Amino acid sequence: MAAPSNKSEIAYQRENELLVKFKGIVQSDDLSKEEYRAAIDELLKSYTTLLSDTKLLTSVGDRLQRKLKGANMLLQQQSEEIQRVNETLQLTNVELKNTIDELTKARASRKAQTFILIFVVVLMVATEVMEEFFIEKFVDTYFTDWEKIFQFMIGLIPKALIVMLLKPIEGYTERYFIRQAQRDEAKQKSEIQEKFAAS
């Protein structure tokens, strides 16, 4: 088979060559009956081959299309699955964040309670010492029995104040520790982000 003149037609060179040949035969006036019969025979064989090739290529083409469609469907399914997993992850992330926030709050609350406990104990001891060493001596010297009873009632006021201020002080201390924990968390996050950006 000769090299094709038009390289863009190389896939159909056989077919084109046969077409040119039989066009020539049809246009020729000086062929014998036998030559025409031989040409028709060859044309029939070529046509049979061409029909067979067409069927083969159609069948192969259909099969490849089916394979491609199958691959596309699989990709679609995987894409949908990935989306579902992403959504689940996002929900889980939100739950995790809420849990972390609650843990942070609980930890800060515990710290605040410990702080308040120590604060109250110190204050109670301080008021007792003040009463024992300073106020009672002063009252014994300058006050009557009724006045001493009154003084005792007055001595309860600091303790009552301490008890009433417990809750507000605890709330303030808890918020302080929560803010501190959030600042530490933000600092940690930015350190991690810087590390990732650097790598």
The least CB distance from residue 68 to other proteins, in Å, is 7
State whether residue 144 is helix, strand or coil.
coil
Q: Which two tokens mark 181?
A: 């924990």
- Binding-site size for other proteins (CB under 8 A) equals 20
Task: State which of positions 98-117 bind other proteins (CB under 8 A).
Answer: none
From 11, 153, 160, 197, residue interacting with other proteins (rule: CB under 8 A): 11
- Closer Cβ to other proteins, 52 or 98, answer by number: 52
Task: State which of positions 48-67 bind other proteins (CB under 8 A).
Answer: 52-53, 56-57, 59-61, 63-64, 66-67
- Answer yes or no: are the C-beta atoms of 166 and 120 closer than 8 Å: yes
- Answer yes or no: are the C-beta atoms of 157 and 87 closer than 8 Å: no
Q: Which two tokens mark 71?
A: 């691959």
The least CB distance from residue 17 to other proteins, in Å, is 13
Determine if 10 is a binding residue for other proteins (CB under 8 A). Answer: yes
Determine if 86 is a binding residue for other proteins (CB under 8 A). Answer: no
- Answer yes or no: are the C-beta atoms of 22 and 1 closer than 8 Å: no
From 1, 153, 160, 198, residue interacting with other proteins (rule: CB under 8 A): 1
The least CB distance from residue 81 to other proteins, in Å, is 21
- Answer yes or no: are the C-beta atoms of 149 and 84 closer than 8 Å: no
CA torsion sign for 60, 64, 67, 69 is: negative
Helix 145-198, helix 33-130: angle, nearest 10: 160
User: For binding to other proteins (CB under 8 A), which residues are involved?
Assistant: 1, 3, 7-8, 10-11, 13-14, 52-53, 56-57, 59-61, 63-64, 66-68
